[in-house]
Chain A
C-alpha cells in the first residue's frame, strides 16, 4: 500500500461511515474487539478519571445503607457527585466538565530511569485534567472530551460523540513516552541516525583501549528512549436493518532511540575482536485499519472483521564504526582494518487478516459457533549487501607457509552478490474454530470445541553469490574471518579452503500446525456450588523443528462455591502432560552447506553442533500442574477481604535444557468503605519462583576435554568425548517478590484528602553448580577458585508515597495540592562495574544501567474549575 493510499484511507473510511449513519441503530461498541487504546491516563492520574470521581454524600439508595456488592461480593464504589447544567433555559442538552490546570515541581533524582520509565515528568505548567461533556436527555446524543498533558511527550486527548443506540464516533491523539535509559554515554556521533561515526579522537579500526576509554569518559550523558504518538478515528453505526458496521483507523509514529549492539567478533578469552554497544534509531510508522460488520439476530449471529496493519520503518539500517584494532589469532599482520559494521533493521511489512464468526442458537439452551480466518504477513524489502567493507578481509597466511584466506570485499559488498535482491518473505495463516455449548438444564451443561490453526512460512532464501559461485555469507562484518583463519562464513565446493566450511546457506521457514480438541462439562450442585471439568488435547506439528509432533493432554477442574457464608470461592486445578514424537537433536542439516554437493567432511568429522540429550523447552516432554484459589469474603456492610493463592509446577523430562519451573504466591486485599466520606484499602502480595536449567560445556579446548578438532568430536551424546559428564553444569534462578500498599481517602467537607503508599520489592538470585571446572568459561586456577556458587543478588525496590489535599473554595472553584515521594534502589549483576567504566579492553558499552538508588519528590498545585 503506497503512502498516498494510506493518507487517503481515513477519508475513505470517514465517507463510508458517514454514509452509513442515515438510519443508524447500534446497541454498543466494538472496542473490546480491537486491540489497544482502551485506556487514556497518565502517571498523574492512571485512571484518567480520578479528578471527577469524588463521591456524593447521599450514597446510592435511601432504601438501604451502604453500597451494594457485585455478585462475587466486592463493594461497588459510592457514586460520584455528579451534576449537570442545562446548556440553555429549556434546552434538552446539559453539560458538565472540569478543568484542572497547575504547576508541577520536581526535586531530587528526577532523571532516574525507573521514575521516568513511562512518564515524561517535567517541572512546569501542566494540564492536570480537562473534561467537557454534553448530553441530550431526549435524543440520547452526547459529546465527551477528556485530556491531560504532562509534557509534549506525555499527553492524551480523546473525543467521543454519538447517539445512544445509534452511532458512535471516536477520535484521539496521544503521546506515550518510554524511557529505556537515562544513564547512557554513547561515544558515537550521529545518535538517532542510521550512521554512527566515531569522534575525531578515535581512529576507526585502530584505536587503543586507552583512547576508547578516554572517549567514553568524555561522552555526554544521554537519555535513550522513544515516544509513541498515536492518532485514531473510529466510527460505528447501523448500515442496514440490524447490520452494524464499524471502521477504525489509527496511526502510530514511534520515534527515538534504543540500545543496540555491534559485534566485531569475540573479545573474551583473549581474542582481539571488538564488542560495541551502540544506539539504534527508532523511526516507525504503523497504520492499522479495522473494519467490521455484524448482525445479531434471534437465531443467527454474524461478525466479519478485517484487520490491516502497515508498518513502515523510515530508518531501515544502521551503519556504525568500530574503534577496535582487530588482531588475528596467529599474530600475523592484518590485511586491512575492519571497522565498518552494519545492521539491517526491521523491514516494512503489510498484514491482512479476514475473519468470519458465525453463531447459531440451538435447542437445549445451546449455541454453535464457528470462526474462520485467513491472514498474511508479507515484506519485500530490498536486501542490503552481505558486507559494507572495502578492500579485503580475512587472513593471509602465506608469510608462514599457509593458505591465503583473504576475500575481496568487492565480491560481497554489492547486492549483485545476492541470489535475490528482495526478501520476498511471506507467512500465511489459517484458522478454523468450531464449538458447541449446551445447557439443557440449569444443573448441567457440556461443550465441545475443535480449533485448527496453521502458520505457513513461504519465505525461501538461498545464500548464494552469483559473482563468485560461493555459498554462505560474510560473518560479523568480516571480522570473524579476519581473526580466525578460514571462518569467513563462505562455503565453496571448488576450493579446498572452503569446501569443509559448514555455514548457513538457507533460511529456516519455521511454521506450525496446531489442532486442539476440547470437551467439557459443568454441573450445578444445589444453588451454591458448581463443578466444571474440561479435557483438552493439543496436537502440534512444528515445521523444521526437533520434533515433528508434540501432543499435550490437559485436564482442568474448576469449582465455584457460594456455600461458605457470604464468600465466593473460585478454585481451579489443572494437570497437563506433554509428550511427542522422536526428538531429532539436529534437524537443521538441510539449511547448512553440509547438505550441498561438494561438501567435504573435515578429517576429524564435523563436530556435533549440539548435545543429543538436550531438549528445547517448548518441545520437550513436560508435566504441568497449576492450582489457583480466589476468595472474596464480604464482612458486614462496609468491608471486603479477598485473597488469592496460586501455584504452578512444571517439570521437564530432560538431562540438558530447562528442567523445572515453579511459582507459589498469595495476595491479600482489604477494602473498607464505611461511608461516602471515607474509603481505605490495603494489600499484600508475595510470590516466589524458581527456574532450573542444565547444560554441558563442549570440549572446546584441551583443558576441558579432548577439544575440538580431535577424533570423537562427532559424538553428540552426553558423556561422550565432546560433551563429557565432567563438563555438565546446573543453574537456577530464584526470585522473591513482595508488594504491599494502602490507600486512604476522607472527605472533611470542604477539604478532601487522599493518601496512598506502594511498595514493590524483588530479590533475585542466580546460583549454579558444576561437575568439574571443565564446565567453566574460565578454568585457570585463580578463576576456578573464584568461581563461587552464584551471582550477587539482584534487587529492585520501589517506595511511593502520594498525598493529595483538595480544597473547595466554592461549588465551582477549588484547588488540589499534591505530592509524591518516590525512592528506589536497584542492583543487577549485569551492570556491576559499568557505573565505574564503560570501557573493558575490546568492549565499549553505552549504558551504565539504572541508577543504584534514587529519591525524587514531586510537588504540584492544580487549580480546579467545575464547568
Chain B
C-alpha cells in the first residue's frame, strides 16, 4: 500500500503539472509572450503562482509562527536558510517557482534527495525562509525550465550533459560553502583542471557515510581520476588506505591549499609529523635529507621496498654516501645471507641495522645514528 502511494502521488502530480503546463504554454497569451520575448520568461511571480501548484513546502512556517525570530543573516556562507537563488547566466530572466513545482516532476529525485544531508538541511532551513529554499538555491530560478524542460541551460545543472559552466557550478556551491576548507579553491589544481564540486560530491542522494560524496568512500572518489596512485597502495609497503583506515583526505585537502600537492599543512614534513609525531624532534643530531623532506627517502603512496622506501637499501643510502671506508663499496650477491661473505650492510634492514636512529638521534654519541 505504501509503495503504491509513493508511485501514485508523484505520478498524479506530474500528470497534473503536465496538463497545467500544456494549457498555460499553449494558451494564446503565453504564445504571444513567448514569441515576443524569447530570451525572457516574461513571467511574474504572480503568473507562476497562478499557473503552478502552491509552493509553500512549509516555507516560512517557523517565521510565521514566531515573529520574534532573529532576522535571517544575508551572509552568503553560513546559514542554509539564507541561501539565495543564484543567477543562471544561461537563463538570466528566469524566475523562481518554488520547490513544490520542481517536485511535481522530479518526485523520485525528491525522495532520494530527502535522504541526503544536503537536502535535509535545506528542508530544515526552509521553515525559516522563503519558498525558494531547496531546489532553486542550487539550480537557479526554474521558470524557464518549467516552461521548456528540455531546453539546454534553462536550469543550472551539475551533470555531464549540463550546459552550465564549471565556474557557474562551483560558484553556486561556494555561495554557501566559501571559506574555511575551501578558502584556497580558486587557483587550486582542481579548479584549474575544470573540476566541478559534483565531480566528487553528489548532494542529491546519500551515497556515502559523510561528505555527500559521489562514490561510497573518499578513496573511491579520488581514485576515479587518480587511478595510478590508488594502484600504488596495493604494493607491498603502503599506508593502511586499502584497509579502510585512512583516506586521501587525511593528508590532502582537495578543495585547495597553499601547497602544490594540496597538503593540509604547510610542508610535506609537517603533514607526516601529524601521525609520526616522534619523527618531529628536533633531534640533537639531524639527518639532512630527513629534516628537509620525508619524500627524499619515502614514497608515501606505496613502495616495493620496506617501509615505503624509494629504493632498496643500501642503494638508497649510496646515492649520497660515497664516503671513505665502508659506505661506498659495491655490494653484490656475495654479501647476501646465501652468499660467500654475508654482510650486514645488505642483509635484512641493511644500513639501518647499525644506523638505526636514521631519523635523528638524541644521544650525545649519536652523530652517526648508531645510538
Contacts and interface: CB of A to CB of B under 8 A. Distances in A.
Chain A bound to chain B: yes
B329 A697 contact: yes
Interface stretch (B33-41, B45-53, B135-143, B262-270): B262-270
Interface in A493-533: 504, 507-512, 520, 522, 530, 532
Nearest to B208: A49
A768 B165 CA distance: 54
A739 B286 CA distance: 38
A23 B70 CA distance: 10
A205 interface: no
Interface in B289-330: 289, 291-293, 296, 304, 306, 310-313, 315, 318-326, 328-330
Interface stretch (B23-31, B91-99, B121-129): B121-129
B371 interface: yes
B109 A61 contact: yes
B75 A296 contact: yes
A611 interface: yes
A260 B356 CA distance: 6
Contacts of B310: 691
| Chain A CB within 10 A, most for which of B194, B205, B321 | B194
Contact of B312 (A79, A263, A277, A766): A766
A311 B277 contact: yes
Contacts of A463: 364, 367
Given A60-B112, A164-B125, A777-B331, A644 B228 contact: yes
Nearest to B329: A777
Interface stretch (A4-12, A394-402, A833-841): A833-841
Contact of A135 (B120, B194, B289, B296): B120
A249 to B, nearest CB: 14
B231 A687 contact: yes
A601 interface: no
Given A429-B266, A786-B334, A160 B210 contact: yes
A634 B208 CA distance: 23
A152 interface: no
A39 B11 CA distance: 40
B346 A453 contact: no
Given A27-B79, A48-B209, A71-B160, A786 B231 contact: no
Contacts of A307: 265
A802 interface: no
A23 B72 CA distance: 12
Nearest to A735: B304
A137 B278 contact: no
A630 B225 contact: yes
Interface string B317-355: 011111111101111111111111111111111101111
Given A25-B73, A504-B367, A656-B322, A176 B284 contact: no
Nearest to B245: A176
A138 B304 contact: no
A490 B158 CA distance: 71
A58 B112 CA distance: 10
Contacts of B349: 259, 261, 277, 830
Interface in B202-242: 202, 204-211, 214-220, 224-225, 227-228, 231-232, 234-236, 240-242
Contacts of B210: 160
A385 interface: yes
B105 interface: yes
Contacts of B333: 786-788, 791-792, 829
Contacts of B81: 165
Contacts of A379: 281-282, 362
A698 B76 contact: no
Interface string A23-42: 10111111111111111111
A146 interface: yes
Interface string A62-73: 110000111111
A257 to B, nearest CB: 14
Interface residues of A, number: 241
Given A268-B345, A286-B277, A832-B336, A43 B187 contact: no
Nearest to A355: B266
B160 A73 contact: yes
A657 B109 contact: no
Contacts of A520: 192
Contacts of A491: none
Contacts of A632: 224-225
A744 interface: no
A768 B363 CA distance: 36
Contact of B337 (A72, A656, A766, A834): A834
Nearest to B178: A296
A459 B179 contact: no
B154 interface: no
Given A260-B356, A429-B266, A777-B329, A542 B258 contact: no
A74 interface: yes
A723 B286 CA distance: 27
B293 A359 contact: no
A510 B292 CA distance: 8
Nearest to A310: B277
A459 B207 contact: no
Interface string A751-785: 00000001010101010101000011110001100
A34 B112 CA distance: 31
B261 to A, nearest CB: 13
B353 A277 contact: yes
A418 interface: yes
Contacts of A343: 356-357, 363, 371
B284 A461 contact: yes
A577 interface: no
Contacts of B345: 268, 777
A696 B329 CA distance: 7
Contacts of A146: 209
A61 B234 contact: no
B264 A32 contact: yes
A796 B304 contact: yes
Contacts of B274: 35-36, 288, 309
Contacts of A695: 318, 322, 328, 330
A507 B286 contact: yes
B236 A733 contact: no
A238 interface: yes
Contact of B279 (A40, A74, A346): A346
Given A30-B180, A473-B364, A737 B231 contact: yes
A687 B296 CA distance: 21
Contacts of B76: 296, 298
Interface in B133-167: 158-162, 165-167
Nearest to A536: B260
Nearest to A511: B291
Interface string B165-179: 111010000001111
10 contacts: A27-B80, A39-B247, A61-B106, A61-B109, A80-B206, A165-B125, A268-B344, A657-B322, A762-B236, A843-B347
Ranked 4 nearest A-B pairs via Cβ: A41-B244, A833-B337, A140-B124, A46-B244
Given A463-B367, A840-B342, 15 more contacts: A34-B264, A39-B219, A46-B217, A117-B240, A117-B243, A140-B120, A242-B73, A263-B370, A275-B344, A275-B353, A418-B364, A425-B281, A610-B324, A685-B231, A787-B334
